[in-house]
Amino acid sequence: MPCSEPESIDFSDDNEEEATENRGSEFNHTYVEDFGSEDPSSTSGETGENDMRILIATDIHVGYGENKGVIHDDSVNTFEEILQIAAKEQVDFILLGGDLFHENNPSRDIMCKTVRLLRKYCLNDNPVYIEFKSDPSVNFNHSTFTRVNYDDCNLNVGLPIFTIHGNHDDMAGMGLTALDELHESGLVNLFGKFEQVEEMTVSPILLTKGTTRLALYGVGSQRDDRLNRAFEKKKINFLRFGAEAEEWFNLLVLHQNRPPRSTSRSTGNYLPVKYIPSFFDVVLWGHEHECKITPEYVDVSAKMDGDGFFIIQPGSSIATSLTPEEALPKHVSVLTIRGRKFQSRPIKLETVRQLIVKTIVLDKTPPKTSLPYPGTREEDMYDEILVIETVKELIKKAKETRGARQPALPLIRINLVYAGVWEHVKVYGGRPLWTMFADQVANPTTMLLTKKMKQKKEKEKARVNEFDFSVFDKSTTCIEDMVSEVLSFVDFDHRLTVLTDDVLKHALRTYTRDQTSVTAANKKLDDLLNHKVRREREREKEREREREKLQKVTMDGMEKEIDNEVKKMKEMFYSAISEENRQKSRANPDEMF
């Protein structure tokens, strides 16, 4: 049975792109807590015929910890829970903000488990109520299949998934991500993929349900510096309708650093919200792992109050680092859109492993306790006893608060800070903890993190290896050029001999830009380094010969000078003796013998 062509809306001359301008105040109040008569929390897909219901999530990181004994299935289990929530809520589709996988090239085991789950929950006879109105050959121009997966008569998709790529599933090698495999197999719809960030035109996916119209924009993960400069130069263009632009609910999906990540780079290594056009209603922000599920309003216009948008940051679905931000409860959200208004209902994930983080600062000497000599330790010291008791306390807390679907063993992190009088004490290594709590926590070898907080001293003069990054040319767009610029500011005496800037540039270009396997790239780097080592050895031998030659010349000259001095001394000495003897012989010749 042939597939029928879906009705689409194109961006022809009579629908010219509208400039990004501030919209009127009547469109500002889009977030509501209750829609009223039509209940958006209903699990029936047939009720609320104008309500477009979307389950939003980001940073699922399927495959994280797959080689770690206890937590190897955590990410897969949580991904299945997300799919179960979507099926239970009977949402119209799932929207992911990047980093579905933890590795760019997931293992066969992880890919197989992912495909099984997608086939189990997404391929079924459930009706799909949303209509695809844009040109799929534009939205999915990276694929040879020019239609959304649920409109393909060869597939039986009952739960569509739309996703952008994150930095963990970035475009390496041939410009492909692990998500491209899922897209080409019809399991997900990958959008927002751009090979060139210097200048891009973002065309939205247009979806409708009843009278609700959604313009879905996506920009997959890009280097923050490059994206920042592209926005500065106004090289990023978001397509909109002219007369009908305000009838569409505009949603943008990003995967970038949200707060500044660098004080040395002029761009701050993040995407400032000021660059995001104010016509958007909601921005789904991926990459940040801290869960900020409540919509946060951002006013980006100084010309008009209320001319901004809402940011929803679901955060990661599992903890990939042992930090206080990751220890917060994990959520997804059901986003319900009706006309130009939306409602966000958070849903707490129940299968996420517990993570408890506690910081202990040692800066005073405890009562009736003396500290050992600097750089030494004694048995059963105060810090060791304190850490052990704290771990026991946190394990007890985890047992009391554990949910029915949470794994038995918690993740625990104790940040032990040595400051003040403890600054010179040898830190506690924590090895006994590995065996003491091996069967009570999921991460016995990484429970303890120690740090010494030294007293602040007057700012020292910049050392040779400290660079002022503000001198960089803002046109630098690739890592190899940045490395070259950094090394150009190093004086000659402190430059590297083998890992020169040309070697580093060549290696970085091979790993990041050339279409080369990792094994082949490693071999190229090894060959290049071996060549440089051989050259340096030859040069060192040549320098050694020069030094020996110079040393020989110098020694010969010194010997001649010494011989001359000895000769002079001998002449003076023997001439003095001869004169003395002559005088004696004149006085008494017999005394000479």
Residues that are catalytic: 168
* DSSP-based three-state secondary structure for 45: coil
HEC secondary structure over 298-365:
EECCCCCCCCEEEEEECCCCCCCCCCCCCCCCCEEEEEEEECCEEEEEEEECCCCCCEEEEEEEECCC
Q: Phi and psi (nearest 5°) for 31?
A: -90, 125
- Could you give the CA distance from residue 298 to residue 273 in angstroms, rounded to a whole number? 8
Q: Which long-range contacts (CB under 8 A, 24 or more apart) does 105-111 make?
A: 105/172, 105/178, 106/62, 106/63, 106/178, 107/63, 107/66, 109/66, 110/62, 110/63, 110/66, 110/76, 111/178, 111/181
CA dihedral 295, 301, 302, 304 (to 10 degrees): -90
- Could you give the CA distance from residue 366 to residue 360 in angstroms, rounded to a whole number? 14
Strand order across the 411-418 sheet? 355-362, 411-418, 448-452
* DSSP-based three-state secondary structure for 443: coil
- Could you give the CA distance from residue 62 to residue 80 in angstroms, rounded to a whole number? 10
- Could you give the CA distance from residue 201 to residue 195 in angstroms, rounded to a whole number? 12
Residue type, 62: V
Helices (H), 47-97: 74-89
Q: Which residues have CB under 8 Å from 522's CB, separation 6+?
A: none
| Partners of 411 in beta bridges | 355
Is residue 329 a contact partner of residue 355, using CB atoms and an 8 Å limit? Answer: no
Radius of gyration, alpha carbons of the chain: 35
Write the burial class of residue 50 (CB in 10 Å: 0-12 exposed, 13-18 middle, 19+ buried): middle
Question: What are the distances in angstroms from CA 493 to CA 78, 101, 393?
Answer: 54, 45, 54
